[in-house]
C-alpha cells in the first residue's frame, strides 16, 4: 500500500499564524484577505528583544534604521530613526520603522526560515513596526506585496476592499512611486462598503496585493507588518529564463545602447531561451 506523503513541516508559519497556518498554506495563497486569531504571546521570544520605545530603539543599534512619519492626511516623510528626528515629527504621525531584520539578526533568521517554508518563491521578506497613538489613522491605499498585519499591543480597526482597477498591481499606490504613476486610479472616498475587522493583540490579518486598506488605532497601538515580496509570474519566467540564456554566447554579449536594440536579434535570443525551458515545445 502506498504511503501518504508526510505533511511539510511549517514551524515558523505556524508560529506566526497559529493553528490555521497549514490550511492557509495548502490553499496556495488565495487572493483573499484572511483573519488569523492566535495566542498573543506566541511571538514574545522573537519580539521581546526589540525595544518598543522609539527613543530606546533609536539608540539600540549603530545601524541607522529607516523610518517613516505618516501624517493623518496621508503625507509621509522618509527619514532615519534618530533622537533628533523623533523630536521633529508631528505628534499625530504614525511612526513606521522599516527593515527590522537588518538591525535584529534573529528577525532576519525568522524571515528566512519562513520564506523557506512557503511554496511561493519570494524576492524578499521584511519586517516593519508601526507605532500609533489612539485615533491615528492611515490614508486608504493598496500595496503591491502580500502583508501579514500583526497586532502586538492595543487594538486597531482595518477597513479593506478589493481594488477592481488594479489587478495584481506591481507598483504601490502609496509612497515615492505611487498613485499618480499608477494609471490615475482614484482613491475611494466612501468606505462604507468595505469589510471591517478589529485586530486584538495576537491577531493577524493577511492582505494580498491590490486590496484597498485603511487603519484606525482604537487605542495606543504597536503592530508589526510582515511583508512578503512574492514573485509574480513574469518575474518567475525571467528567473527561469536567465540560466538558459547565459548558455548562449549571443545572449552574453554586452547589451546594446538603450535606443539601439536590434529586435530581430533579441527575438532570436528569446526563441533560444524559450526552447531551452523545461517542457517547452
Calculate ∠ Cα 201-230-147, nearest 5°. Answer: 20
Measured from the CB of residue 111, what is the shortest distance to Fe ion in angstroms? 18
Measured from the CB of residue 143, what is the shortest distance to Fe ion in angstroms? 4
Residue 69 and residue 28 in contact, taking contact as beta carbons nearer than 8 Å: no
* Complex with Fe ion: residue 98 or 143, whichever CB lies closer: 143
Please tell me the count of residues contacting Fe ion according to CB under 5 A. 1
Q: Is 98 in the site for Fe ion (CB under 5 A)?
A: no
* Complex with Fe ion: residue 78 or 236, whichever CB lies closer: 78
Q: Which stretch binds Fe ion (CB under 5 A): 5-13, 39-47, 138-146, 249-257?
A: 138-146
Measured from the CB of residue 21, what is the shortest distance to Fe ion in angstroms? 22
Which residue do the cell numbers 531561451 mark?
A: 273
Residues linked to residue 237 through DSSP beta bridges, in sequence order? none
* Complex with Fe ion: residue 165 or 239, whichever CB lies closer: 165
Tell me the backbone φ, ψ of residue 227, rounded to 5 degrees: -105, 125
Q: Which stretch binds Fe ion (CB under 5 A): 32-40, 116-124, 136-144, 250-258?
A: 136-144
Measured from the CB of residue 173, what is the shortest distance to Fe ion in angstroms? 9
* Complex with Fe ion: residue 97 or 251, whichever CB lies closer: 97
CA atoms within 13 A on the CB side of 114: 26
Cell of 208: 494580498
Task: Kindly tell me which residue out of 143, 146, 155, 203 binds Fe ion, with binding defined by CB under 5 A.
Answer: 143
Instruction: Indicate left, alpha or beta for 145 from its phi (over 0: left) and psi (-120 to 50: alpha).
Output: beta
Q: Which stretch binds Fe ion (CB under 5 A): 143-151, 153-161, 162-170, 258-266?
A: 143-151
Tell me how far apart the alpha carbons of residues 239 and 254 are, in angstroms, rounded to a whole number.
19
Which residue do the cell numbers 529607516 mark?
A: 66
Q: Which stretch binds Fe ion (CB under 5 A): 10-18, 102-110, 135-143, 158-166?
A: 135-143
Cell of 275: 526552447
Measured over all CA atoms, what is the biggest interatomic distance in the chain, rounded to whole angstroms?
Answer: 69
* Complex with Fe ion: residue 58 or 214, whichever CB lies closer: 214
Handedness of CA 137, 141, 144, 147 (dihedral sign): positive
Residues that bind Fe ion (CB under 5 A): 143
Amino acid at each position: 500500500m502506498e504511503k501518504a506523503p508526510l505533511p511539510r513541516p511549517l514551524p515558523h508559519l505556524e508560529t506566526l499564524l497559529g493553528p490555521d497556518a497549514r490550511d492557509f498554506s495548502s490553499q496556495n495563497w488565495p487572493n483573499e484577505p484572511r483573519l488569523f486569531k492566535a495566542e498573543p504571546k506566541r511571538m514574545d521570544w522573537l519580539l521581546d528583544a526589540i525595544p518598543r520605545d522609539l527613543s530606546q530603539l533609536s539608540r539600540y543599534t549603530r545601524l541607522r534604521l529607516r523610518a517613516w512619519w505618516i501624517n493623518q492626511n496621508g503625507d509621509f516623510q522618509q527619514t532615519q530613526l534618530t533622537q533628533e528626528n523623533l523630536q521633529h515629527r508631528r505628534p499625530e504621525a504614525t511612526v513606521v520603522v522599516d527593515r527590522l531584520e537588518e538591525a535584529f539578526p534573529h528577525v532576519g533568521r525568522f524571515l528566512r526560515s519562513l520564506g523557506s517554508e512557503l511554496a511561493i518563491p519570494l524576492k524578499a521578506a521584511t519586517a516593519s513596526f508601526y507605532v500609533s497613538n489612539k485615533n491615528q489613522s492611515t490614508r486608504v491605499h493598496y500595496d503591491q506585496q502580500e502583508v501579514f498585519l500583526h497586532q502586538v499591543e492595543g487594538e486597531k480597526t482595518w477597513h479593506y476592499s478589493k481594488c477592481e482597477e488594479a489587478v495584481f498591481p506591481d507598483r504601490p499606490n502609496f509612497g515615492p512611486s505611487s498613485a499618480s504613476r499608477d494609471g490615475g486610479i482614484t482613491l475611494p472616498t466612501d468606505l462604507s462598503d468595505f469589510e471591517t475587522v478589529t485586530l486584538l493583540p495576537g491577531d493577524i490579518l493577511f492582505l494580498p496585493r491590490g486590496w484597498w486598506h485603511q487603519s484606525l488605532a482604537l487605542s495606543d497601538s504597536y503592530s508589526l507588518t510582515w511583508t512578503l515580496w512574492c514573485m509574480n509570474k513574469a518575474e518567475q519566467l525571467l528567473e527561469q529564463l536567465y540560466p538558459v540564456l547565459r548558455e548562449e554566447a549571443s545572449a552574453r554579449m554586452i547589451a546594446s545602447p538603450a535606443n539601439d536594440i536590434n529586435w530581430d536579434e533579441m527575438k532570436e535570443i528569446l526563441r533560444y531561451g524559450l526552447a531551452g525551458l523545461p517542457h517547452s515545445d
